[in-house]
Amino acid sequence: MTHPIIHPLAALLNPGVRELEISGIRRFSTLAAQYPDALSLTLGQPDFATPEHVKQAGCQAIADNHTVYTANAGLLKLRQAAADFVAARYDLHYDANTEVIITNGATQALDIALRTLLVPGSEVVLPGPVYPGYEPLVRLAGATPVFVDTRSSGFRLTAQALKQALTARTRCVLLPYPSNPTGTLLGTDELAEIAAVLAEREVFVVSDEIYSELVYTDSHHSLAQFANLRNSTVVINGLSKSHAMTGWRIGFTFAPPYITEQMLKVHQYSAACASSVSQYAALEALTHGQADAAPMREAYLQRRDLVCARLRAMGLPVTVPAGAFYVFPDISEFNLSSFAFAARLLAEVRLAVVPGAAFSPLGEGHVRISYAYAPEVLTAGMDRLESFLTRLRT
């Protein structure tokens, strides 16, 4: 076995970066790729194509030579379209000139928000289990993540639990709903209770609402709808999930001017602007594709019901997702770590899922299954899972 040669300058690299780990989601997807016959239910990537009219708008942008820098904050007409979209959908009202930035996906939006809001030594409260992409961004900003255990409350952050987690060092609360990995959602009453707690503190909120268009039976609500928190909240959204545009890399920040003008500096020096071609495609998505998410959402709902019914029939406890396209079944009965369970599942029946521990230590005892796959793929995956569980139980 060969070992990589460590360059003598490696020790001089930023220790904050060296200590980061590659996402457990990507690690397990890479592991699954070593099994050519494996069936993977790991990635949160829509299996739908970008809508045809959106693709054509991107092609037209190239034909029209819209291939140069835009304003740092993005095309004004796109910012206006984004502001109009969230106003109509979620009763969120922002000025396109001073309160909206177009970013390279929601990930970059999160990065510029956290680098603007945080200072070394500050704390960020997150509900766990939670998407693994947040903690590295928090740490790169010099801050410390504080995970709140939501396992006993249906994976929903409660006002009481939040209140207990707040300290003098708390600078920000990060709300990711609908949730990855659990698909849970906060209702208006729950948000109102959280808003009441935060209104008493000088704390920022980053609300990651990337799955807002994929809510099944309720309506999506934002903490920024509450007047007393509107001016301390950064709303993150984008088109990756709603319009199957993951590779186009278009995200949005919505925030009051005093935050936006500072975030724009970080955005300017880290990315200059989002892809011009992608921005024109996004403009088409938001102006003529407001209903594009509807058929995808209906398909995900049917897939959710298929997967949850199969999991329950197998005897795995599961919280039924209210949004997104993930389910997070409990596998604790088998007395295996989530990694050991997932590794054996892959090796023995060629099914790849994500170990729950990838979503913070509070995800241990679970695995994440993405149902952003065709029904026949999901059925085959559930068949393999069922055969594996039979082996474990005999």
d(CA 121, CA 167): 12
Per-residue pLDDT tens listing for the chain (394 residues): 456 678 989 999 999 898 888 777 777 778 888 898 999 999 899 999 999 999 999 999 999 999 999 999 999 999 999 999 999 999 999 999 999 999 999 999 999 999 999 999 999 999 999 999 999 999 999 999 999 999 999 999 999 999 999 999 999 999 999 999 999 999 999 999 999 999 999 999 999 999 999 999 889 999 999 999 999 999 999 999 999 999 999 999 999 999 999 999 999 999 999 999 999 999 999 999 999 999 999 999 999 999 999 999 999 999 999 999 999 999 999 999 999 999 999 999 999 999 999 999 999 999 999 999 999 999 999 999 999 999 999 8
Residue with tokens 């060296």: 18
| Residue ranges of E strands in the chain | 39-40, 100-103, 123-128, 144-149, 170-176, 204-208, 233-238, 251-254, 326-327, 351-352, 354-355, 367-370
179 burial via Cβ count (<10 Å: 0-12, 13-18, 19+): buried
pLDDT value for 115: 98
CATH tag, 10-49+293-393:
3.90.1150.10
Q: Is 291 in contact with 188 (CB distance < 8 Å)?
A: no
77 alpha-carbon distance from chain centroid: 26
Top-level CATH class of 52-288?
Answer: alpha beta
For the chain, give every domain's residue range. 10-49+293-393, 52-288
Output the CA–CA distances (angstroms, integers) from residue 165 to 111, 124, 201, 283, in the order listed: 23, 10, 13, 40
Taken in order 330, 333, 334, 339, is the CA torsion positive or negative?
A: positive
Contact by Cβ (8 Å): 267, 250: no
- Do the beta carbons of residue 204 and residue 231 sit within 8 Å? no
pTM of the model: 0.96
Residue 5 is predicted with a pLDDT of 74
Q: What is the pLDDT of residue 1?
A: 45
As given in the structure block, the two tokens for residue 209 are 């609402």
Strand order in the sheet with 144-149: 100-103, 251-254, 233-238, 204-208, 170-176, 123-128, 144-149
pLDDT at 365: 98
Q: Where are the alpha helices (DSSP H) in 37-130?
A: 52-63, 76-90, 105-117
